[in-house]
């Protein structure tokens, strides 16, 4: 699969947004609870016809670069590889294989808002939960870890909805919807 310019822009843009914007937000004493991670959006939005090997390679490099800048010693890489491996399971648990076309990128415009919130919400929540458990390396204070994962998932979803409204062009969405209906 050819790595399109749009994918390169999303790859670099998500890393820049994560490292230079989201990681620098300061909420005072609440900053320990607020640390959303949005880099997994790149892997989750990829087309279904992208091979698992390619996804794992993208996930490794995305996590590795993020780990270098965030000084997290492989946490993002390992959790992103787990989420990449589980992506089809999450997606097919909310819809059947025939409902989503394999050559369409997954975003809120192509799969719908409810499926988007379910698929991306479950995936990002699990990402945060595994990340916080590995970061703490303990199951102590599990309710607090669930709360942190929930708060960060909600904030990451809001931020990603905002990014999608800014950067995913409605023309592309309209063309993909027309192609799905076989009108052309």
Percent of the chain scoring above 70 in pLDDT: 88
Please give the average per-residue pLDDT across 130-144, as a whole number: 87
The yes-or-no verdict on residue 81 having pLDDT over 60 is yes
pLDDT of residue 183: 47
pLDDT of residue 184: 44
Residue 108: pLDDT band by 50, 70, 90 thresholds? confident
Please give the average per-residue pLDDT across 141-156, as a whole number: 91
DSSP 12-75: HHHHHHHHHTGGG---GGGGGT-----THHHHHHS-TTS-HHHHHHHHHHHHHHHHHHHT-TTH
Name which of 89, 37, 88 is nearest 63 in CA terms: 37
pTM of the model: 0.84
């Amino acid at each position: 699969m050819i790595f399109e310019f749009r994918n390169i822009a999303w790859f670099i843009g998500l890393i820049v947004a994560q490292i230079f914007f989201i990681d620098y937000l300061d909420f005072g004493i609440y900053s320990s609870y607020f640390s959303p991670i949005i880099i997994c959006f790149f892997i989750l939005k990829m087309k279904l016809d992208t091979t698992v090997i390619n996804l794992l390679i993208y996930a490794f490099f995305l996590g590795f670069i993020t780990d270098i800048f965030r000084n997290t010693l492989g946490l993002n890489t390992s959790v992103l590889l787990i989420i990449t491996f589980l992506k089809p399971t999450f997606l097919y648990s909310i819809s059947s294989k025939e409902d989503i076309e394999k050559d369409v990128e997954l975003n809120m415009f192509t799969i719908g808002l409810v499926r988007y919130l379910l698929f991306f919400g479950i995936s990002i929540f699990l990402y945060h939960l595994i990340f916080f458990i590995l970061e703490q390396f303990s199951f102590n204070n599990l309710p607090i870890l669930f709360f942190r994962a929930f708060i960060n998932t909600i904030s990451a979803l809001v931020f990603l909805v905002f990014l999608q409204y800014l950067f995913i062009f409605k023309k592309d969405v309209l063309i993909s919807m027309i192609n799905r209906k076989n009108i052309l």
